[in-house]
Structure 1
Amino acid sequence: MKKIWFFIALTAVLFSCSDNNRSNNNPYIPNYSVNAYLDMNLPSYNNLRYVSNPVYVANYGAKGIIVMNTGPNTYTAFDAACPNQELTSCTAMTIDGIYAVCSCDKAQYNLFTGLGGKEYPMKQYRVEVSGSVVHVYN
């Protein structure tokens, strides 16, 4: 019985140390509500059917969102705002292959991880897939 409690406690500690909280407490990007449904049957989102083909979606989050298929039924979604710049100083990040590039400092962020070697990673959103619909939310 002690082993089970130890395992539960260890699991709770490991999951509470996630860096996801750091990316979502970015002082430069406000916490806008995001609730997007992207139907991959539509031409605008058809590239999400294929691995490593990111798609920019305007009108969500601070500067839009970037969604990418990272593997079988696995997706990432990040805010397109530059995570290490004032919100008003830069336009939305652009997509360059599997990277998002900030218009202000030209920093590149990996769309698999959201990391870019700067203080703050990209602001991440949750993703669920049901059939051909990708749901991005927070």
Structure 2
Amino acid sequence: MRHLWSCILLFFLISCNSDGTNRNPYLQEVSFRFDLNLNLPSYNKLSTIGNPVYIPNNGVGTRGAYVMKTGFDTFFAFEASCPNHTPNNCSTMSLDGQNVVCSCEDFTYNLFTGEQLNRPDDGKRYYDLLFYRTTQRGNIITISN
């Protein structure tokens, strides 16, 4: 019986590891919750797949968020501040179709995946967009972190 408990303990110790994800050093992960009512005219674009909407920083993330319908009942939300430098006067990204562009260094990110599209090949670490959770209940989309 003692060996059984030793094996179980060993199993748990082996299965525990430190989180291997790299947190973005430029953006703080702010806790928030924001509800979007899809019945409001300002969010009409979210009824069609591929039409992003900018949510200003009224308690949403660091610089606001970009929200886009990506599937039948699937929505993605990403931080509006460029993930590859600290927030400053040029770090709030602007829409370019289904992409967002940072005016500081013209980095472009895809709103379907959050991936940086024009990543330099200079050996430095670059980050993709900071993803926020989205849930839908009826006509309410909740964005949270």
Report the TM-score when normalising by structure 2: 0.76
Structure 2 gap ranges (5+): 1-14, 120-125
Structure 1 gap ranges (5+): 1-11
Query: Among the aligned pairs, what percent are the same residue?
Result: 41
Aligned partner (choices 38, 41, 44) of residue 42 of structure 2: 44
Deviations 1:53-95 (A, max 9, x none): 0000012111110000001001100000001022125241111
Deviations 1:112-133 (A, max 9, x none): 1100144100000000011111
For 1:1-138, what aligned pairs fall within 5 Å after superposition?
21-22=21-22, 25-59=23-57, 60-117=60-117, 118=119, 119-138=126-145
Deviations 1:20-76 (A, max 9, x none): x54xx2111111112110001101111111100000001211111000000100110
The structure whose Rg is larger is: 2
Which structure carries more helix by proportion? Answer: 1
RMSD: 1.8
Report the secondary structure of 2:88's partner residue.
Answer: helix
Whole-angstrom CA distance in 2 between matches of 1:104 and 1:88:
9
Which structure 1 residue ranges, 4+ long, deviate > 4 Å from structure 2? none
**Greater CA drift, 89-98 or 69-78:** 89-98
Report the TM-score when normalising by structure 1: 0.80
